[in-house]
Amino acid sequence: MCENSTRIICPVCGEIDKSLVEIYNISLRKQDFALSPVLPTCRQCNSEIEIADPPKGAELIILNGTCGSGKSTVAEEIMKRYGFAVIDGDCMLQVLRCRLGGRKAEYNSDEALDEIGREIDVLAALGYPIVLSHIILPKDWCRYKEIFLKRRLKYSHFLLKPDIDAAISRCNTRTCHKSVTPEYWIRYFDESLLFNGSADVFTIDNTDLTVDETVMKIMETHQRI
Ligand SMILES: [Zn+2]
């Protein structure tokens, strides 16, 4: 491990202490959404900070599942209760859009994966265990795994798979997003998210579980890893 060589660099102020880092960018946050985009800046000058020699071996919980499966709600709860920092897929795309001058990137593009890697490095350098709440298709899983293995993350991967009707009704009733996710997409992701035979993905049917029960189940499994 080379954790001692990790440095937080502000392009204006030079090397800075982690207490001077503002992790989230609130102005990029979606209305009424509890999770914020990770875009760390220096509190002294507002420049985006960089990480030199990010640490290896950070802790990561991956929450996968279709829209309305409860990823964000569960992520928020793990953040509040256990002090994890959250990388939310939607928030990550907001940051990326800002970086790309307004151009939209796909949720599973190389640019998106690079951004996730960058956010993991920052949060790990600041000493956080991390939750990644994101839709990861089986065909893309290897690409994500590469990012995690490269950083020697201690990760566990959970697929939240409630009844499709429960997911659809959650998407239709929740107020945190301005636009409702089309049913077509909810079904598409639900049907695509099958990790049959993949021993390293834990599927949780949370149709009849409270957020509390889901969180307990995840933390119990994660702590065994
Ligand atoms: Zn600065």
Q: Residue 20 C-alpha to ligand 1 middle, in angstroms? A: 8
Distance of CA 186 to the CA centre of its chain: 19
Q: Would you state the structure tokens that stand for residue 13, as one six-digit string?
A: 């102020």
Q: Residue 43 C-alpha to ligand 1 middle, in angstroms? A: 7
Q: Residue 122 C-alpha to ligand 1 middle, in angstroms? A: 16
Q: Residue 107 C-alpha to ligand 1 middle, in angstroms? A: 30
User: Which residues, other chains included, contact 35 with Cβ-Cβ below 8 Å and sequence gap of 6+?
Assistant: 29, 72, 75, 76, 79, 86, 88, 91, 133
Q: Residue 10 C-alpha to ligand 1 middle, in angstroms? A: 5
User: pLDDT by residue (tens digit) across 162-206?
Assistant: 999 989 888 877 655 556 678 888 999 999 998 876 778 999 999
Residue 2's pLDDT band (boundaries 50, 70, 90)? very low
Q: Residue 27 C-alpha to ligand 1 middle, in angstroms? A: 19
Looking at the DSSP bridge assignments, the partners of residue 38 are 24
- Residue 214 pLDDT greater than 70, yes or no: yes
Q: Residue 16 C-alpha to ligand 1 middle, in angstroms? A: 8
Looking at the DSSP bridge assignments, the partners of residue 203 are 159
- Residue 79 pLDDT greater than 60, yes or no: yes
Distance of CA 153 to the CA centre of its chain: 14
Q: How far is the C-alpha of 120 from the C-alpha of 127, rounded, in Å?
A: 11
Q: Residue 23 C-alpha to ligand 1 middle, in angstroms? A: 13
User: Which residues, other chains included, contact 166 with Cβ-Cβ below 8 Å and sequence gap of 6+?
Assistant: 68, 207
Q: Residue 25 C-alpha to ligand 1 middle, in angstroms? A: 15
Q: How far is the C-alpha of 192 from the C-alpha of 54, rounded, in Å?
A: 33
| The length of the chain, given as a count of residues | 225
Q: Residue 219 C-alpha to ligand 1 middle, in angstroms? A: 37
In a 10 Å sphere around its CB, with 0-12 CB exposed, 13-18 middle and 19+ buried, how is residue 111 labelled? middle
Give the gyration radius of the chain's Cα atoms.
17
| Number of other CB atoms surrounding residue 141 within 10 Å | 17
- Residue 104 pLDDT greater than 50, yes or no: yes
Q: Residue 59 C-alpha to ligand 1 middle, in angstroms? A: 28
Looking at the DSSP bridge assignments, the partners of residue 23 are none
- Residue 134 pLDDT greater than 50, yes or no: yes
pTM score, two decimals?
0.92
Mean pLDDT of 71-86: 95
Of the candidate ranges 28-42, 140-154, 171-185, the one whose mean pLDDT is the lowest? 171-185
Q: Residue 28 C-alpha to ligand 1 middle, in angstroms? A: 20
User: Which residues, other chains included, contact 138 with Cβ-Cβ below 8 Å and sequence gap of 6+?
Assistant: 192, 193, 194, 195, 198
For domain 55-223, give its CATH number from 3.40.1160.10, 3.40.50.300, 3.30.420.40, 3.40.630.30. Answer: 3.40.50.300
User: pLDDT by residue (tens digit) across 44-74?
Assistant: 999 999 999 999 999 999 999 998 999 999 9
Q: How far is the C-alpha of 43 from the C-alpha of 95, rounded, in Å?
A: 18
Q: Would you state the structure tokens that stand for residue 124, as one six-digit string?
A: 């790990």
Position 19 scores a pLDDT of 95
